[in-house]
Amino acid sequence: MKVKLQGVRYRLPNFSLGPIDMDVEPGKIYVVMGKNGSGKSTTLKLIHGDIRPSEGTVLVDGVDASKIGFIQLAKKIAFVWQEIYNPLSFTVKDVMNVSGYSRDADEDDIFKALSVLGIERFIDRDFNLLSGGEKRLVTIAAALYQDSEIIIMDEPTNFLDIDNQILVYNLIRDLRNSGKTLILTLHDIDAIHNISDYVLILKDGMEVAKGPTRETLNVQNLRKAFNVPFYTYDTVNGKSFVGAMK
Amino acid sequence: MRYVWISLLLIILVFAVVFSAFIGSVRISPIKILEIYGSQIPFISTYIPHNFTSVQYEIIEQLREPEILGGLVVGASLGIGGAAVQSIFRNPITEPYIIGLSSGASLGAVMTIVLGLSFLGFYTMQVSAFAFALLAVFIVYFFALRGGKAHPTYLLLTGVAMSFFISAIVALLLFSNINLQGEAFFWLLGSLEDITWTLLYPVALVVIITSLVIYSLYRELDAMQMGDHHARSVGVNVERTKKLAIFMVALGVSASVSISGLIGFVGLVMPHLSRILFGGSNKYVIPTSGLLGAIFLICADDIARGLVTGVVIPIGIITGIVGAPFFLYFMRKLTGGRYEG
């Protein structure tokens, strides 16, 4: 499944994003990166059709995203939000069931999705009583359970400890290898360098650079986006990026 | 296990309905009341002894039965409406009245009292309360729209503002007609006493239909409890669900309130009690809030009728005084931090 952003702009009274042009090909990992407030999450919401562009179009398999029915869109695209909560009361199973709205609910599939993240023991626990990191894992499992072709994740490793960050990065790679498309926002530049195929770098709502990660993620573009000098060094995992401190 | 508890609630409801007729200012022995029940059941009635008088039959059939079943219908609609509204607003302190229902209904009722309207005869007040309640909800909904979407916060704030505004008009009407305050006062605190079969039948039909529609939306309401954005991302047509659910709540609760007056507490608290007992999914919360609301209101009405001989206390007083401490106890004992987020 392909997604195409054509001259997409989004305007608010005190913020403007775009124009953004982007082609999302199947089976790849895309990362949208930039400073806080640069428009990363807004870009994800535009791709997902949660908000409509002020100008331009978002095409999902050649069809305007705003013309696709809600259930059809949910089958194509799942979204892992930065933070979700339920002000009333839900178990983890209830949260998972919500993500099964567009498909026939299957308890085995819920269990499998939780098992991928090693949290099947949480199934009957109260979602509100989980830690931030545990909630994050549940929301990722819920997106797996939704079983869409594209998974959008807004800062999926927020609140996670190191081992769970690695678990999620490996999962993202596995999903890509199984044919899923992933569109992410991330702040960890080394992780972006290691896992993504393409990057879109934003600053104040404008594109700074975009393209294959190996070519686009360099100290020049990072300096433009973050106003901080960067340098690189080689590690056992490959290239590593560090922002220079005074 | 859940289904065992739900079955238990159903049994309690049946007992509450059956035994509530034993309470009233005219003493009728329980055996005679059971005989009267039996005489109303086709095929069985011929085998039941008829040791009751026609007056006793009239009291049970014409006064107590519609009042008790009225309690069932009104309580169920308030409980179900409360569960739906709390999911739509994602707010544990909301109830059906928050969307302008109560103030609209009270304006409709008080207007007929103060202005002496009687264009629909005996039903004028009920129809007026129903129409004004619906009208108030529509005004709230359309004022809350922003770019074709009714965000829960705008809905909530508009509902609160509209309620204050309409309540001020109600107060002005009552202030200017001080000798009619007694009649209006009784309506504003709620009572099941004046419910008749002719009032109850259409209201029961509306409540049954709206409750079934609301229940059919339980998956959508579950998703909306996680936020409109999330609900949309899993495939829910949020705006359509919101419109339909609010309309159904408005229709069902307006119909109920039109025959009972304003009864607080039930719509706010029963969904919480249900969540504590049966978990958070609306698959269970909606029907059990209805069951709990019905049981609670029938029992509250028993107290209202039976506490002081010859006096019917407004039921709104009982629901608050009896219900609040009971609920506070449950909240303290059972929530286990689940609302702490």
Chain A neighbors of B280, CB-CB under 8 A: 86, 88-91, 94
**Best mean pLDDT range from A1-5, A241-245, B110-114, B239-243:** B239-243
pLDDT exceeds cutoff 90 at B294: yes
B contacts of A100 (beta carbons < 8 Å): 234
CB contact burial A139-176 (16+ within 10 A = b; e otherwise): bbbbbbbbbbbbbbbbbbbbbbeeebbebbbebbeebb
Taking CB atoms and an 8 Å limit, are A86 and B90 in contact across chains? yes
* Cβ-based contacts of A151 with chain B (< 8 Å): none
**pLDDT per residue as tens digits for the range B116-153:** 777 777 788 888 888 898 899 899 988 888 877 778 88
Distance, C-alpha A213 to centroid of its chain = 16
Nearest CA in chain A to B277: A89
Length, in residues, of chain A: 246
Question: Kind of pairing, strands A55-60 and A29-34?
Answer: unpaired
Domains held by chain A: number: 1
Residue A44 domain boundaries: 3-86+148-243
**Considering only CA atoms, which of A61, A53, A67 is closest in space to residue A8?**
A53
Which of A76-80, A101-105, A131-135, B258-262 has the highest mean predicted lDDT (pLDDT)?
A: A76-80
- CATH 3.40.50.2000 matches B2-334: no
Q: Give the dihedral sign, CA A43/A47/A52/A56.
A: positive
Per-residue pLDDT tens digits for A201-226: 999 888 888 999 888 888 888 888 88
pLDDT in tens, B295-335: 999 999 999 888 777 777 888 888 888 878 877 877 776 56
Nearest to B229 among A50, A71, A86 (CB): A50
User: Chain B interface, mutation test: which of A89, A101, A129, A147, most B Cβ atoms within 10 Å?
Assistant: A89
Indicate the SS3 state at residue A27: coil
Average pLDDT for B103-124 = 83
Say whether pLDDT at B204 is over 90: yes
Inter-chain residue contact A87 with B87, CB threshold 8 Å: no
In this predicted structure, what is the pLDDT of residue A31? Answer: 94
Question: Which residues in B have their CB inside 8 Å of a CB on A?
Answer: 86-87, 90-92, 219-220, 222-223, 225-227, 229-237, 275, 279-281, 335-341
Cβ distance of B226 and A86 shorter than 8 Å: yes
Does A29 fall in a domain? yes
Domain ranges of chain B: 2-334
For the entire predicted model, the pTM comes to: 0.89
Interchain CB distance below 8 Å, A81 and B229: yes
Q: How far apart are CA B158 and CA B144, in angstroms?
A: 6
Q: What angle do CA A126, A128, A130 make, to 5 degrees?
A: 80
Return the CATH number at A76: 3.40.50.300
d(CA B125, CA B145): 31
CB B164 within 8 A of CB B156: no
A167-198 residue pLDDT tens: 889 889 988 998 899 999 988 888 888 899 99
- How much is the average pLDDT of A50-78? 89
Q: What Å distances lie between residue B180 and A190, B89, B174, B188, CA to CA?
A: 76, 36, 7, 12
Interface probe for A, chosen from B234, B273, B275, B286 (most Cβ of A below 10 Å), is B234
Which residues of chain A have a CB within 8 Å of the CB of B279?
Answer: 89, 91, 94
| CB-based contact B225 A84, cutoff 8 Å | no
- Asked, for residue A113, whether it belongs to a domain, the answer is no
